Chain A
Amino acid sequence: MATRPSTRLGRWLVGGPPLLYLLVFFAAPTLIMVLASFRSPGEFGGLAPIVDEAGKLDLNVDSYVRFVTEPVFIRVFVKSAWYALLTTLFCLLLAYPLATLVAKSSKKYRDLLLLLVILPFWSNFLIRIYAWMIILGPNAALAKVVNGLRGLFGLEPVSLLFSGFAVLVCLVYVSLPFMVLPLYANLEKHDQALLDAAQDLGANAWQRFWRITFPLSLPGVYAGGTLVFIPALGIFAIPDILGGPEDTLIGNLIKQQFLETRDWPFGSVLSIVLTVAALVLAGAAAWIGRRGAARHA
């Protein structure tokens, strides 16, 4: 069917500005970064001229070779993925009962409970991380209780701060709402009649959860999992502030390449690998989620 010119113009007016915005500030920088990953680092940081003294185009895969040949980088990647995975799992374990509670509560309290879930967003991200420095600090009650208990068993005191533990706790803390909200959106739509039917057919409370509620909530689990896992994979502020020397994650590595080591091509390579990994995982989650959702139609 032919589209009237005025309709077409309207579409461009509505869709054009955001499209242009994404082209200029997202697509173009990404392409610049891809190009940078094939260039050589400059002598004093940054990038070497793209055309060398001999007048030849200076493009190479040296940075990519370095990434795959030096095992330390792969190890950081694996470690980041492991932290992100743990964060996702803990968020799921905490968010599921919470989302269920909100979804099952009466309409009167539901909005209030949801507000409480997103309330932390009202204060600055960095401030919330620094708050954990105080909570986990050596003179805070938590550390004193933990080390007091360890002392009873003759164990050395430990530092809660500047550890993988601190990084994980804070990662779970900042990510939790991103798991609660999609899970809630899913659980809220569940039909009580299905649970009644399952009970009528002989299923006890655990069987009703495991055979009915949980499988039907999988699209929400995948959505929440994606929203938690991908940002957690690239995070750098939390390990920077709360982590120890062992807790360098891929996000920190990228930051170092650009700001400290000033090896832009290698930083670009790390960024690209991270983006590709995130895209693959998000795609996989969306595909699994859609397959589950198709059965609900």
Chain B
Amino acid sequence: MALLDIQGVTRRFGDFTAVDDVSLAVEAGEFFTLLGPSGCGKTTLLRMIAGFDLPDAGRILLNGRDLADTPPELRPVRTVFQSYALFPHMSVEGNVAFPLQMARVPAGERKARIEGALEDVRLQGLGKRYPHELSGGQKQRVAIARALVTHPTMLLLDEPLAALDAKLREDLSIELINLQKEVGIAFVYVTHDQTEALALSHRIAVMNRGRIEQLDEPSKIYGFPLTRFVADFIGHCNLFSGPVRASDGGLAVVDVEGLGPVRVATQANASASANGTVAIRPEKIRIAAEAPSDTPDNHFRGAVHDLLYMGDVTVYRVAIEGGTIVEALLANSQSGRAKFFEVGDAVDVSWPVGAGHFIAE
């Protein structure tokens, strides 16, 4: 039995359906992420798990028990809020002690529990400080310690890293992974940042317009997006759409206007659909000055239209003779060279049939 079982949950606000018939299950000890753009319903779903909002239809079960009649204060789940929501009039210790006091943990036991929780988030010695004396990262750690100190069944995190700068976000991400492993509590993590989602999660549910578009492991989500939306939202992706011309033996050919026929390997019976999209990650596209000698299955000539130099890699946007822009990514790792091509250089882009991913429409 899953720890958290969400069955056909729907939530409407007037005419707007924020969460539309969502079903999913979270296992004990899992790091589960709800990923999607703002307004996709991920926060509403999280608030319904916490109890701040109630579903219009469907059920939410925790350990097999329906939570419908349990108010937030009695649910064995804890939330880490995006704004941290630390109590400004209480010290760090006071904040962490708060849930213990509410749970009537004896005063003698509290001290050790508080110290343990602060140790878990590496904040030893800061117990006497007040929230306004802490940095953003420290506040976030206090919020996590406060949520974990009562050993909840599940921790809900609402964009907990969104307010932090990039470097700190990376550090805290690694700490979150380790912390989750250490405490063994299921995390349900809400974010709009796909990098965070891919790096942290055991499984991701990609949400769009109140529905789950795809639910899978990060590598499957990234490598084999089921829908155009997922391919586009997770990382960068070239999306070539057009009518399916031919399909046999695990190979489909899609006629893309402004590019030409694109061949792609697929398990799906592509001929069943009239139209299809080929999704190819920029890093899977080879970019070279001359056409390669081993002639891969797809290759096109064009010129560098513009480029984004990112330091470790450069993203080249190549204008194909037909007019389509193909995005290709090249690591700048070769010694002695800063980057390979300049704007206007004639280049050849190519990729094997196995590099792309076919999405039927």
B89 touches A191 (CB 8 A): no
Identify which of B72-80, B224-232, B328-336 touches chain A: B72-80
B127 at the interface (CB under 8 A from A): no
| Alpha-carbon distance between A265 and B271 when the two chains are bound, in angstroms | 108
Question: In this complex, what residue of A is CB-closest to B47?
Answer: A196
A200, B88: Cβ atoms closer than 8 Å: no
Report A-chain residues with C-beta under 8 Å of the C-beta of B74. Answer: 202
Determine if B164 is an interface residue (Cβ-Cβ < 8 Å): no
> Is A212 in contact with chain B by the CB < 8 A criterion?
yes
Q: Which of A191, A201, A216, A296 contacts B102 (CB 8 A)?
A: A201
Which residues of chain A come closer than 8 Å to B79, judged between CB atoms? 196-197, 200
Alpha-carbon separation in the docked complex, A172 to B53 (Å): 40
Of all chain A residues, which has the CB nearest B94? A211
The reply to whether A202 and B85 form a contact with Cβ atoms under 8 Å apart is no
Report chain A residues within 8 Å CB of B81. 193, 196-197
In the complex, what distance in Å separates the CA atom of A212 from the CA atom of B147? 17
A274 on interface, CB distance cutoff 8 Å: no
- Residue pair B89, A202 in contact (C-beta under 8 Å): no
A-chain residues with CB within 8 Å of residue B83 when the two chains form the complex: 191, 193
Q: Are B89 and A295 in contact (CB under 8 A)?
A: yes
User: How many Å lie between the Cα of A197 and that of B50 in the bound state?
Assistant: 10
- Residue interface bits A198-225, CB-to-B below 8 A is 1, else 0: 1111111001000110011000000000
Measured in the bound complex, the distance between the Cα atoms of B311 and A200 in whole Å is 44
Complex Cα distance, B78 from A207, in Å, reads 17
- Docked pose: A204 CA to B70 CA in angstroms: 12
**Is A201 in contact with B78, judged by CB distance below 8 angstroms?**
yes
Interface status of A194 (Cβ within 8 A of chain B): yes
Docked pose: A194 CA to B78 CA in angstroms: 14
Q: Count of chain B residues with Cβ under 8 Å from any Cβ of A?
A: 25
Q: How far is the CA of A215 from the CA of B132 in the complex (A)?
A: 16
Complex interface: chain B residues within 8 A of A204 (CB): 73
Interface pair B50/A200, CB less than 8 Å apart: yes
Chain B residues near A211: list those with CB within 8 A: 87, 98
A210 to chain B, nearest CB (A): 12
**A215 and B89 form a contact (CB under 8 A):** yes
- From A202, A295, A296, B150 is in contact (CB under 8 Å) with A202
Asked if A191 contacts B73 (CB within 8 A), the reply is no
Describe A's contact surface by its main secondary structure. Answer: helix
Contact yes or no, A200 B72, CB < 8 A: yes
- B residues 264-321 touching A (CB-CB < 8 Å): none
CB of B146 within 8 A of chain A? Answer: yes
A201 is contacted by which of B52, B71, B89, B99 (Cβ under 8 Å)? Answer: B99
A189 to chain B, nearest CB (A): 11
CB nearest neighbor in A for B74: A202
Say whether B72 contacts A199, CB under 8 Å.
yes
Contact yes or no, A198 B50, CB < 8 A: no
Does any Cβ of B come within 8 Å of A164's Cβ? no
CB neighbours (8 Å) of B87 from chain A are 194, 197-198, 211-212
Q: How far is the CA of A297 from the CA of B83 in the complex (A)?
A: 15
Q: Do residues A200 and B89 form an inter-chain contact, with CB atoms below 8 A?
A: no
Question: Which of chain A's residues 160-217 have a Cβ closer than 8 Å to chain B?
Answer: 191, 193-194, 196-204, 207, 211-212, 215-216
Q: Distance (Å) between the CB of A288 and the closest chain B CB?
A: 13
**A45 CB within 8 Å of chain B:** no
A194 contacts which chain B residues (CB < 8 A)?
85, 87-88
Q: Which residues of A contact B341 (CB under 8 A)?
A: none
Q: Other than the known A207-B102, A216-B89, A295-B132, what 10 A-B pairs have Cβ atoms closer than 8 Å?
A: A193-B81, A197-B87, A199-B72, A200-B52, A200-B79, A200-B147, A201-B78, A202-B73, A202-B150, A296-B88
A201 touches B98 (CB 8 A): yes
Query: Can you offer 23 A-B residue contacts whose CB atoms are under 8 A?
Result: A191-B83, A191-B85, A193-B83, A194-B88, A196-B52, A196-B72, A196-B85, A197-B79, A197-B85, A197-B87, A199-B52, A200-B52, A200-B72, A201-B73, A201-B98, A202-B74, A202-B102, A203-B102, A207-B102, A211-B98, A295-B89, A295-B132, A296-B132
A292 within 8 A of B: yes
Is B162 engaged at the interface, CB distance under 8 Å to the other chain? no
Q: What separation, in Å, do the CA atoms of A212 and B95 have in the docked complex?
A: 11
Which one, B52, B88, B146, B147, contacts A295 given CB within 8 A? B88
User: Interface digits, A282-297 against B, CB 8 Å rule (1 contact, 0 not)?
Assistant: 0000000000100111
